[in-house]
Structure 1
Amino acid sequence: MFGKKKQKPQIDKDQLELIENAQRRIKQKKRLYVHFVLFLIGCVLLIIANTVLGIGKDFTIAGVNWFVYAILIWLFLFLYHLFNVFVTHKFMGKAWEKQQLEKLVAKQQERIDKLKAGFVKEETLIAQSDLYNETTPKTQNPKSKSELTIIVAAAKNDAIGKGNKLIWHLSDDLKRFKSLTSGHHIIMGRKTFESFPKPLPNRKHIVISRQKDYKIPHGVILVNSLEDAIDAAKNDSQPFIIGGGEIYKQAMLLADKIELTRVHEDFEADTFFPKIDSSIWKETANTFNKKDKNHEYEFSFITYLRK
């Protein structure tokens, strides 16, 4: 009852493992040092035995005294011991294996966390889209609500850009873009906005960026998500999504309309437009354009509406 209270150890398991590992390393190095000293003394004794005492004086191998071979063999054993202490036990021992395993587990967990974050984001957008469709009557006059429209020029292989630049220059496509978007809000990612030499006239720019301190010109609206961008354009009868690739991917779940310029050629690119699912989208207009002196490629203006 009045005896001394048993003290709890102040060293946790990880610290104890580190101490034990350090003690093992000290013992290994001590044994290596002893081996080195014995090797030096042994070499001296072998030389004295042969040259002074005359032991095996006449015994040679390939014209070389036997004690030279003995020293070389012993040297090999010492070097092998040295390698074990400073290479094998240090880099391939139990502690090394544990460290490598922890690194692999950490990397795998990081990948899992990224995938989870992506799934949560996509599920949120899908849920919002479903809720929007469920609460919007199908017989409603389309003019009575905002019609979110994606406008894009994409190649046969869905390429839309490379190095944050357009791959082609089609005069009529640029004119169509200007005609459709003038007077409306245009929603874009930061990189798309930075690809413009200056803000486009007669349009309200909404830029999506996670950078809270991102500098924008006067009159441009900065938001952190596509949902905030759509909310900022709620008073516009037809706001347009104009890029880039990730914004298009998110917008496909929420948009009502797609204005597509399909360039009838395949291109090498680093940014692509999502595949258009015919079970979700209905083609309502298609105008083919031949190539000419102002248009290097054939292209079509195609309109899709959500079914």
Structure 2
Amino acid sequence: MFGKKKATPQIDKDQLELIENAQRRIRQKKGLYIHFVIFLLGAVFLILANTVLGIGKDITFFGKEWFLYAILFWSFLFVYHVFNVFITHKFMGKVWEKQQLEKLVAKQQVRIDALKTNMIKEEKHVAKSDVFNTQQTQKEILNSNKQELTIIVAAAENDAIGKGNKLIWHLSDDLKRFKSLTNNHHIIMGRKTFESFPKPLPNRTHVVITRQPDYVAPEGVVIVNSLTDAIEASKSDAQPYIIGGGEIYKQALAFANKIELTRVHEDFEADTFFPKLDLSVWKETANTFHTKDDKHDYEFSFLTYERK
């Protein structure tokens, strides 16, 4: 009474399908057997009706009794039934349809896989082409440009350069150096860097990179859509400066000839960082150290790097 219930045997879909197919075949063969018995009885009845009872005894076709044609027609129906059960069912039944469907699906899958493979190859080819074109553009600018394109930046030991679109520190000598170096030059920057200024800096031509097609800037500010366009817009200047922000610095490392870096010897929390320098590409050519004092809360160094 309180014992464990017997487990109910489970039949999976494949087993159930096999059972249903087997039952269907039994019904078909049983129907064929009944057809055979009726065929034999019917044939005997037709012969007896004609020869013994004399039904239609005088009816002939082409010199043959009518019941012979009736038996032949009945035989045709029986042969058709046999063909349908043993031939048509095997080659054109549900199993045959399923096999054909599986073959078609498999062929379509092969085609789909081939298309995917071709698409992946094309994407890789396009990606390689884009990289190649970008590298060619960089080489052309570096080789043909007579300018000394210079990055100027102040970065902490952990490469922090800003937070909330603002400087993290205030170093008087660094600001003076920035003004002295960039005065009367083109300064190239991203839109957010430009918007961090209360107003455009005097004695400098501002070249602002933005993707906004309808961006409005004060008169005299040059608006471009890419760094290469900004370099082209500054070609009248022998030494334009890249002044930020982080993404523009990252792109500019491929084009710049020189880096003027103020290294602040502290770590800071930030949301914008200067990219790590590859010292196999850049060599340090100048280094001036400054200690802390009344106007400077942190130690810092003025570093100059030039492309090898």
Q: Do 2:259 and 2:305's aligned partners in 1 also have CA atoms closer than 8 Å?
A: yes
Q: Distance in 1 between matches of 2:249 and 2:129?
A: 18
Partner AA of 1:173 in structure 2: D
Residue matched to 2:269: 268
Question: Is residue 136 of structure 2 the alignment partner of residue 127 of structure 1?
Answer: yes
Amino acid at match of 1:305: E
Q: Give 3-state SS (helix, strand or coil) of 2:161's partner.
A: strand
Cα distance in 2, alignment partners of residues 128 and 217 from structure 1: 31
Cα pair distance change 1:198/1:132, threshold 3 Å: closer
Contact preservation (8 Å) 2:142, 2:255: no
- Whether 1:169 aligns to 2:170 is yes
Aligned partners of 1:184, 1:246: CA distance in 2, in Å? Answer: 21
Per the TM alignment, residue 129 of structure 1 is displaced from its structure 2 partner at its CA by 1.9
Conserved? CA contact 1:258–1:305, under 8 Å = yes
Give the 3-state SS of the residue equivalent to 1:128 in structure 2: helix
Sort the Cα spacing of 1:135 and 1:258 in 2 relative to 1 into closer, same or farther, 3 A.
same
The 3 A distance-change label for structure 1 pair 224 and 117 is farther
Give the match's secondary structure for 2:207.
strand
Asked if 2 retains the 8 angstrom alpha-carbon contact of 1:125 and 1:250, the reply is no
1:94-121 Cα offsets, whole Å, 9 max, x none, are xxxxxxxxxxxxxxxxxxxxxx999887
* TM, length-normalised to structure 1: 0.57
CA distance in 1 between counterparts of 2:234 and 2:214 reads 22
- The structure-2 alpha-carbon separation of the partners of 1:166 and 1:125, relative to structure 1 and needing over 3 Å to count, comes to farther
Query: 2:270 aligned with 1:284, yes or no?
Result: no
What's the counterpart of residue 150 of structure 1?
Answer: 151
Residue 294 of structure 1 is matched in structure 2 by 295
Where 2:267 maps in the other structure, the secondary structure is coil
Q: Distance in 1 between matches of 2:304 and 2:237?
A: 20
CA contact (8 A) 1:125 1:253 kept: no
Q: Distance in 2 between matches of 1:122 and 1:182?
A: 35
2:188–2:207 CA contact under 8 A, matched in 1: yes
CA 1:295 to 1:234, structure 2 compared with 1: closer, same or farther past 3 Å? same
Deviation (angstroms), 1:273: 0.3
Runs of 4+ in 1 over 3 A off after TM superposition: 116-125, 131-136
Give 1:209's aligned residue. Answer: 210
Contact 1:209 1:225 survives alignment (8 Å) = yes
**Structure 1 residue 127 displacement after superposition:** 2.6
Give the direction of change, closer, same or farther, for the CA distance of 1:241–1:124 in structure 2 (3 Å limit).
farther
- Quick one: structure 1 residues 221 and 119, their matched pair in 2 at CA, closer, same or farther if it must change by over 3 Å? farther
Secondary structure of the residue that 1:235 maps to in structure 2? coil
Counterparts in 2 of 1:286 and 1:294: CA distance versus 1, 3 Å: same
**Structure 2 counterparts to residues 95-114 of structure 1, below 5 A:** none
Question: What secondary structure sits across from 1:242 in the alignment?
Answer: strand
Aligned residue pairs total 185
1:276 counterpart letter in structure 2: L
Unaligned runs of 5+ in 1: 1-115, 137-144
Compared CA separation, residues 281 and 213, structure 1 to 2 (3 A): same
Looking at structure 2, the residues matched to 179 and 299 of structure 1 have their Cα atoms a distance apart, in angstroms, of 18
Distance 1:267 1:171, change over 3 A: same
Q: Is the 8 A contact 1:125 1:254 kept in 2?
A: no
Measure, in 2, the Cα distance between the counterparts of 1:117 and 1:171: 49
Q: Do the aligned partners of residues 134 and 182 (structure 1) sit closer, same or farther apart at CA in structure 2, a change above 3 Å counting?
A: closer
Partners of 1:302 and 1:212 lie apart in 2 by 37
1:125 deviates by 3.7
Distance 2:263 2:273 in 1: 13
Write the deviation string for residues 246-267 of structure 1: whole angstroms up to 9, x where unpaired.
0000000000000000000000
Compared CA separation, residues 132 and 188, structure 1 to 2 (3 A) = closer
Cα offset for 1:126?
Answer: 2.8
Q: How does 1:71-82 map to 2 (within 5 A)?
A: none
1:298/1:221 Cα in 2 relative to 1: closer, same or farther (>3 Å)? same
Q: TM-score, normalised by structure 2?
A: 0.57
Q: Which amino acid aligns with 1:227?
A: T
